[in-house]
Structure 1
C-alpha cells in the first residue's frame, strides 16, 4: 500500500510521513527542509502558518537546507500543495 504524501502547512513541500504524527495532532518539532518552519510551532494554527509563509516569501523564499533543493524546483507549484485549511 503506497504512503499518502503529507505537505508542509507553510510551503507545501511533500513528505513521506507527517511530522504531526499518525493522529495529526502530535508534532515532532522537526524543521521543514524548504521553508525552515518548525512543525508544531510556526504551523500550529492556520494564522501562524500564513504569517510565517508571508515572512518566508518576503525574505526571498530561500531553502533552509539549500543542498536539499531539487534541481527543477518551482515555488508556485509547491505552494499549491499547501493544505487548503492553511492557505
Structure 2
C-alpha cells in the first residue's frame, strides 16, 4: 500500500522521500517524472512548473525500464497531493 505520492506526477511510493514529517527530502529522483525531491518540488510553484515542463515534453518516464506495461498517465495524475495542483 502506497503511503506517499510524487508531488509532480503522482507516482506512488511505499516511503516518503521527504521524510516522515514531510520536511527532510532525500534528494532522490522520481522514477517516473525525474523530479529531484527537495530541489524541483520544494514548493507548490516549483512542483507545478516541473509538471508543466514534463507534460509538455510528452510525460516520458525518466527511467524507461521501470515503466509498467499498463501505465495510465491520467490515473496517476489523480494521485498528486491536492495542495500541489
Using the alignment, how far apart are the partners of 2:48 and 2:64 within structure 1?
22
Structure 1 position 4, deviation (Å): 5.0
Instruction: Give the 5 Å matches for 1:19-34.
Output: 19-34=17-32
2:51 aligns with one of 50, 53, 72: 53
Q: Which ranges of structure 2 fall in alignment gaps of 5 or more residues?
A: none
1:40 aligns with one of 38, 41, 50: 38
Q: Which ranges of structure 1 fall in alignment gaps of 5 or more residues?
A: none
Structure 1 position 5, deviation (Å): 1.7
Q: Look up the match of 1:75.
A: 73
Instruction: Give the 5 Å matches for 1:7-18.
Output: 7-18=5-16
Q: TM-score, normalised by structure 1?
A: 0.95
Structure 1 position 23, deviation (Å): 1.4
**Count of residues in correspondence between the two structures:** 85
